[in-house]
Chain A
């Protein structure tokens, strides 16, 4: 099976920020969600994959094409949408559609028309009259209608109202139907990622701090509430990311709950509940845990 993308040992340094030693792979046909705070390196990673920036070290391959050596071939099959991409304010959406259509022979006009209706956009309107949400949807339309094999989307739902967000997520889940198309998208909204992504990558401070399939993330982490005195060393136990106490109750956020529950019981604590955590809680626990596992 071809990989949609492969990065190994990738570094990119800017004066105020550095992406360090990134190893990442996405099999074709899968969706990867990138989770990270502002400044974690999500946009830099997407720009490197889209061929808009060159790595200082390491190798990048996109759809089997080494970058930047075969970036012309790769770019034909990549659709990159990020907020800093400029559209021409005085030109209409139709003008932009014709421009992209002329450059990409795989442009699907029928699909573009369908997206226009779904996104409730007017092709005859100049871009400067578009709201933020409409601009985001226009950029997505221009990319989707090319039917690229790899979609790189930087925060596709950030700043959208709930209706626009639902429209974008619907369009995104349609891409899933085709086993030859892959998506890498970043989002602040971990709910979107938890639901749609097959794989999840946590980026923090320019490093990948965890990357696995979504089910593994969700199965691994648990919130344990227990009653009774705990040994002082509990915070150092393997897999324990955080401990909070409130009176005689304690809450632990852990990786590998079975082992920890066993240890808690052995220490005489009364385990009251073991509940799944959502991706947002898992991300925060991972960042706070500083990669200590």
Chain B
């Protein structure tokens, strides 16, 4: 079996291909497999190794750039961002992914946007209440 920078992508995964790439790159960065400054495979490399189109990888890299996980230097390629904000960027990418899942689950249930907002506010207040009650956890 070839070993390399290929990602594990599946057509039976309900997430679109580019989203699977975003999630896996973010996971590699979060796990420390790819430390700050690490050079990402070129778009063509990764497309070829993962057997997806170049356009799919391009789109994933754009999303990762927007989320602040990677930076692209013209003519040099893409690198894991050096910024101190990286954990924040990863958490944010993770949050956005979870929100998309929530939106899908709500759609399946037929829960409309107003009810969803109400549920989100309730969850938010609940979390704020627990954090206030147990300050030692909030600082962790």
B and A form one assembly: yes
Which residues of A pack against B, CB within 8 Å? 29-31, 169-170, 173-179, 191, 195-198, 213-215, 218, 227, 270, 272-276
What is the interface of chain A mostly: helix, strand, loop, or mixed?
mixed
User: Contacts A215-B59, A273-B107, A274-B107; is A198 near B16 (CB within 8 Å)?
Assistant: no
14 contacts between A and B (CB under 8 A): A173-B47, A173-B49, A174-B48, A176-B47, A176-B54, A191-B11, A195-B52, A195-B53, A196-B53, A214-B53, A214-B56, A215-B18, A218-B16, A227-B110
Q: Identify which of B16, B51, B53, B107 contacts A272 (C-beta below 8 A).
A: B107
CB distance from B8 to the nearest CB of A (A): 14
Besides the contacts A31-B53, A197-B53, A215-B18, what 12 more A-B pairs have beta carbons closer than 8 Å? A176-B47, A176-B53, A191-B11, A195-B17, A195-B51, A195-B52, A195-B53, A198-B53, A215-B56, A215-B59, A273-B107, A276-B16
Which residues of B pack against A, CB within 8 Å? 11, 16-18, 44-45, 47-49, 51-56, 59, 107-108, 110, 112
Taken together as a complex, chains A and B put the C-alpha atoms of A273 and B111 apart, in Å, by: 10
- CB-CB nearest in chain A for B108: A273
CB distance from B34 to the nearest CB of A (A): 20
Contact indicator A170/B51 (Cβ below 8 Å): yes
List chain B residues, Cβ under 8 A from A191: 11
- CB-CB nearest in chain B for A175: B48
CB distance from B55 to the nearest CB of A (A): 4
Taken together as a complex, chains A and B put the C-alpha atoms of A59 and B34 apart, in Å, by: 49
Contact indicator A198/B44 (Cβ below 8 Å): no
Taken together as a complex, chains A and B put the C-alpha atoms of A177 and B51 apart, in Å, by: 11
